[in-house]
């Protein structure tokens, strides 16, 4: 049988923003199909830049990004990725249901199909009571859930979650973990960024550490603990990022 293309293949990716900021330099990263992959690093390390390159939201300076073997700027690549952005960017004039249906339309779903899928997502993410409410009237946690529901609308094979649990309470975090785990069990590839190290340790099969636009390590949590001689992922993080030991 033909081996499937990796979900993500990044080769020598460099991104320099117009103001001169070098956000990524010669980054290589391969994420296998079906993986649950974590990307960890401090504020400004380049995580969102990398994600934006994968989702074709920025022009890269040099390098190559392939999604399931297709260049990131192709329709095929864009259709196979679902992104829940770090910034909650919901259209304030749309209701919950419209948000989902329009997104489906944007990805080429027919009206009936998009409405049926939206109804499913509203059910899954427990948004039934708010289906006809405009997004500014949602609580923060509901917005996070809608963001995730929207990312999943077109059944992407690769789901990218950029700090999905930032500012989320304990209960919703557990719920989001359950949803994300289920997705992964169904075969979806997950790329997750988070500042909650225990979240990465609990969920991710493999973790890459990024610092100042450079990928400095990539391994299982256990492998990282061994390599850096730490008892916890927090020990690893402190050492890898060159932070003063607390």
- The string over 203-241, giving b where at least 16 C-beta atoms fall within 10 Å of a residue's C-beta and e elsewhere, is bbebbbbbbbbebebbbebeebbeebebeebebbbbebb
Kindly give the pairing relationship between strand 189-193 and strand 206-211: unpaired
Q: Which is nearer to ligand ATP, 22 or 110 (CB)?
A: 22
Q: How far is the CB of 17 from ligand ATP (least distance, A)?
A: 3
Report CA 135 to chain centroid distance, whole Å. Answer: 21
Q: Which is nearer to Mg ion, 9 or 85 (CB)?
A: 85
Q: Which is nearer to Mg ion, 96 or 204 (CB)?
A: 204
Candidate residues 14, 86, 95, 124; the one interacting with ligand ATP per rule CB under 6 A: 86
Query: Rounded distance, CA 216 to CA 174, Å?
Result: 30
Q: How far is the CB of 104 from ligand ATP (least distance, A)?
A: 28
Q: How far is the CB of 48 from Mg ion (least distance, A)?
A: 3
- Terminal CA-to-CA distance of the chain, rounded, Å? 51
Query: Rounded distance, CA 188 to CA 186, Å?
Result: 6
Candidate residues 1, 2, 19, 244; the one interacting with ligand ATP per rule CB under 6 A: 19
Among ligand ATP, Mg ion, none, what does residue 23 contact (CB within 5–8 Å per kind)?
A: ligand ATP
Q: For ligand ATP, how many residues bind (rule: CB under 6 A)?
A: 13
Query: Rounded distance, CA 240 to CA 210, Å?
Result: 9
Q: How far is the CB of 117 from ligand ATP (least distance, A)?
A: 30
Q: Which is nearer to Mg ion, 21 or 174 (CB)?
A: 21
Cβ–Cβ < 8 Å for 239, 72: no
Which residues contact ligand ATP (rule: CB under 6 A)? Answer: 17, 19, 21, 23, 41, 43-49, 86
């Amino acid at each position: 049988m033909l081996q499937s293309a990796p979900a993500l293949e990044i080769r020598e990716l460099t991104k320099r923003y117009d103001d001169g900021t070098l956000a990524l330099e010669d980054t290589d990263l391969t994420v296998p199909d079906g993986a649950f992959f974590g990307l960890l690093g401090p504020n400004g390390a380049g995580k969102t830049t990398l994600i934006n390159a994968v989702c074709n939201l920025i022009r890269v300076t040099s390098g190559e990004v392939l999604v399931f073997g297709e260049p990131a700027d192709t329709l095929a690549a864009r259709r196979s990725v679902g992104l829940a952005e770090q910034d909650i960017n919901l259209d304030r004039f749309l209701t919950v249901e419209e948000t989902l249906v329009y997104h489906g339309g944007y990805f080429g779903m027919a009206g009936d199909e998009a409405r049926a899928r939206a109804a499913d997502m509203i059910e899954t993410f427990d948004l039934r009571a708010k289906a006809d409410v405009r997004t500014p009237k949602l609580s923060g946690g509901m917005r996070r859930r809608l963001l995730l529901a929207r990312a999943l609308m077109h059944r992407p094979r690769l789901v990218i979650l950029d700090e999905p649990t930032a500012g989320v309470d304990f209960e919703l975090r557990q719920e989001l973990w359950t949803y994300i785990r289920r997705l992964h069990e169904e075969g979806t590839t997950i790329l997750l960024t988070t500042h909650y190290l225990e979240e990465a340790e609990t969920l991710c099969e493999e973790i890459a550490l990024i610092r100042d636009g450079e990928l400095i390590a990539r391994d299982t949590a256990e492998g990282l603990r061994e390599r850096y001689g730490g008892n916890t992922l927090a020990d690893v993080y402190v050492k890898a990022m060159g932070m003063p030991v607390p």
